[in-house]
Amino acid sequence: MFELPEELRLLKRAVREWSLKKFDPNLAIELDRREEFPFELWREANKLGFLNVRFPIKYGGQEMGLLADAIVTEELCRVDSTLGTAIVLGNFSSDCILLFGTEEQKEKYLSKVTSGEWISGGAYTEPAHGSDITSLDTKAVKEGSYWIINGSKTFITNAPIATFFVVLCQTDPESKHRGQTMFIVEREDPGVETTVMHGKLGIRCSLTGEVSFSDCKISEDRLLGKLNRGFYQFMEFLDKSRIQIAAQAVGIAQGAFDVAWKYANERTAFGQKLIDFQAISHKLAEMAIKIDAARLLTYRAAWYYDRGVVDPSLSSMAKAYAARVAVEATDYAIQILGGYGYFAEYKVERYHRDAKITDIYEGTTEINMNVLINFLPKSSVLRTFMLS
C-alpha cells in the first residue's frame, strides 16, 4: 500500500501531463469569473478515459477501481482546482445507477456518461432542510404505472447542464427516512425546471443550481433501486463519494503547496530566500506532513473500498481531515506568497476559495464527525489499530 502499482503510476503521470498541457491558467481565471463549465476540457478528459476509470468495462469504463479514480481526481485538482473540480464532477451521482440500477438503467445511462455525451446530477438537498436528509418535502406519488413528483431541490451540482438527475423523494410520508425512494429524472421530462445559482465563493466552473418538479410524470422503470430504501442507498453512495471529495481536497492542498514551495525557493527578502527563514520552512514542512497524511487516509479508504470493505468510518475520516487540510494549506500558501497570494495570477487565492466547499458538501465536517463517532466501534479496520 505504500507504493502504487505500475499501472496507477502511469495513470497518475498521464493525467498530470495532460492537465499541465491543457489547463491554461488564463482560461481558468476567465471561466471562474464568468462561471462557465469547461465543456471542451471535460469532453477531452472523457475521451482519454480519465473520468471513467472506476466504471466497469461493459459500460464504457476501464474498471480500475476507486483508488484509480482518486488519483485522477487528485491530479486534475492539483494542476488547477477550478477546472479539475468541474471536470471530475461532470458525472456526479451516476454512481447511484452503478450501485443500485437495473441492467437496463446501467446500459442506458452509464454508457452515455462514460462516453462524455451526458452530464449527470444528484438532487438530494432541499431548501428547508440542508444537511438533514432524513426530512424531505419533495414527494413522489404512485398513479397507475407512473410516479408524479412535486418539490424542489437546492445546491444541486450540474443543475443547469445535467442531462439527468438522481432524485431522492419521499414516497411514504408516515415513515420519514424509512420511506424515501430514488428516481432517475431526465431534464426533458415535463415539469422539470432548473435555475442557476450565481455568486459562489469558489468552484465557479462547477455549476450549481436549483431543480424543481411540478407534477413531473415519470414511468415506473425510472425507480432506482428499491422502493422506500432511498435513504439507505444515499448513505451507501456517500461512503463512496466522500472518498472522491477527499481526493479533490488532497489535490487542491497539494496544488497550493506546489505554488508556495516554488515561490519560497525563488523569492528573496532581507538578503535570503524565503525558504531559509525558519518560520516559512516550518509552515511548508507542516503542510507537507498534513497533506501526505490526508493522502494516505484517502488512498486507504479507496483501497479498502475496491476490496469490498465499505466502511463509513474510513470515508468520513478521510473526507473530514482532507477538507480541513485543504483549507489550512491553501491559507498557508497565501500567507507565504504575501501580497501576491491575494491576486488571481498566482492561483492560490482561487485554490483557497475552491478548497472551502470540500468542508461543506457530501456532508459538512460536523456531519462526518458524527458518522465517524457512530461507526467507529463497528469498523473492522479501525478497531484493529485503535480499539483493540
Is 349 annotated in the active site? Answer: no
Cβ contact 351:337 at 8 Å: no
CA distance 68 to 12: 8
CA distance 43 to 15: 14
Q: Write the single-letter amino acid at 227.
A: L
Q: Which residue among 75, 107, 362, 366 is the active-site one?
A: 362
The C-alpha cell at 130 is 440542508
CA distance 169 to 138: 5
CA distances to 2, 192, 370 from 386, rounded to whole Å, are 20, 48, 17
The alpha helices in 48-174, defined as continuous H runs, are 66-79, 81-88, 94-100, 103-105, 111-114
Instruction: Look at residues 366, 16, 73 and name the one whose alpha carbon lies nearest to residue 247.
Output: 73
Cell 487540510 appears where? 325
3-state secondary structure of 268: strand
> For residue 271, how many C-alpha atoms fall within 13 Å in the half-sphere facing its CB?
0
Residues with catalytic roles: 362
